[in-house]
Amino acid sequence: MATQAVREWLGIQQFPVATQNKLHEYLGKLKQENVNTLTILVMGKGGVGKSSTVNSIIGERVAAVSAFQSEVLRPVICSRSRAEFTLNIIDTPGIVEGGYVNEQALEVIKRSLLDKTIDILLYVDRLDAYRVDTLDRQVIKAITDTFGKGIWQRGLIVLTHAQLSPPDGLSYEDFFAKRSEALLKYIRLGARIKKQEFQENSIPVVLVENSGRCKTDDNGEKVLPNGIAWLPNLVKTITDVIMNGGKSILVDQKLIDGPNPNDRGKFFIPLILAFQYFFVVKRIQGAIKRDIAKESKPLWELRDMGLANRQF
């Protein structure tokens, strides 16, 4: 992985004071909970705004942004520290190619994360995409199969291009609600999470506008059409997800080499063992016993057993 040394987080000083104050407040809360490091993995299809979101959070141009093809072929980790708090953000290449999930790209991502702990997954898509289809479901399934279902307990959905005027006279809130609902449904299906379980721990959906032309409020903070200053809101939601529990995902050798971390087949293991015992081992044992019983013993053996005389 293209790793950069941990540097002082200078980008934060580029933010308006109001944003800086809020970020310090949220990161301070994490530190109170003994969370001194936060590693954020950013994933999604190509061109949805992953790299731009990384740059927006850090406040520096650390990841290559491209209007056409993604320039990053491997994950890029960017580390910044501030007041004894370390923020690591991992930007990844899009994992879709020619309309399919590129399993090899996912494998490269997973391997390059060896020994890293993922605290948060940002699943990025665009707010102004009007449909969700089986490809989205496949992308979500591939992420789930790679890191395990548990990653969604530490997941957030990030919708970029959030400064938009909804079509068809829909209100902004309604449009956002509809888009979130459609995506969340596909996440539930792709990650094979039970409906009830999903409703109880719903995955937050946050809005992001990476454009330099994003509106600002009186404090200079970048705000969305709904008036929310999106960067502090994103960091606050990340903090809430951490506080709500769930487990960070350690990418160890087992996760890399192992089968699907969701152990889909584990239910069958005892059944297969029982089947093997009763139908294979028992049968062979029976056959051996019968064979021994049937065996015509040589004369000398019968003699030793004291049977020879009776036979003759």
Summarize as ranges the residues that interact with ligand GDP (CB under 6 A). 46-52, 65-67, 70, 94, 160-161, 208-211
Is 56 assigned a ligand-binding role in the annotation?
Answer: no
Phi, psi (rounded to 5 degrees) for 132? -120, 140
- The residue (of 45 and 50) whose beta carbon lies closer to Mg ion is 50
Q: Please report how close the Cβ of residue 100 comes to ligand GDP at its closest, in angstroms.
A: 17
The answer to whether 210 is annotated as binding is yes
Q: Which of 30/132 has CB closer to ligand GDP?
A: 132
69 is in an annotated binding site: yes
Least distance in angstroms from the C-beta of 72 to Mg ion: 5
DSSP notation for 142-190: HHHHHH-GGGGGGEEEEEE------STT--HHHHHHHHHHHHHHHHHHH
Q: Are 237 and 155 in contact (CB under 8 A)?
A: no
| Cβ closest to Mg ion, residue 46 vs residue 261 | 46
3 state SS of 304: helix
Interacting residue with Mg ion among 51, 79, 112, 210 (CB under 5 A): 51
What sign does the dihedral 32-33-36-37 (CA atoms) show? negative
Does the footprint of Mg ion cover residue 56 (CB under 5 A)? no
Task: Tell me whether residue 274 is annotated as binding.
Answer: no
Tokens 């307990």 sit on residue: 153
40 touches 62 (CB < 8 A): no
In the bound state with ligand GDP, the residue whose beta carbon lies nearer, of 61 and 297, is 61
Nearer CB in complex with ligand GDP: 81/211: 211
| β-pairing verdict for 85-91 and 76-82 | antiparallel
Total Cβ atoms within 10 A of residue 142: 20
Quick check: 52 binds Mg ion (CB under 5 A)? no
Q: Which residues are annotated as a binding site for GTP?
A: 47-52, 66-71, 161, 209-210
Judged by the rule CB under 5 A, the positions of this chain that interact with Mg ion are 50-51, 70
Q: Which residues are annotated as a binding site for Mg(2+)?
A: 51, 69
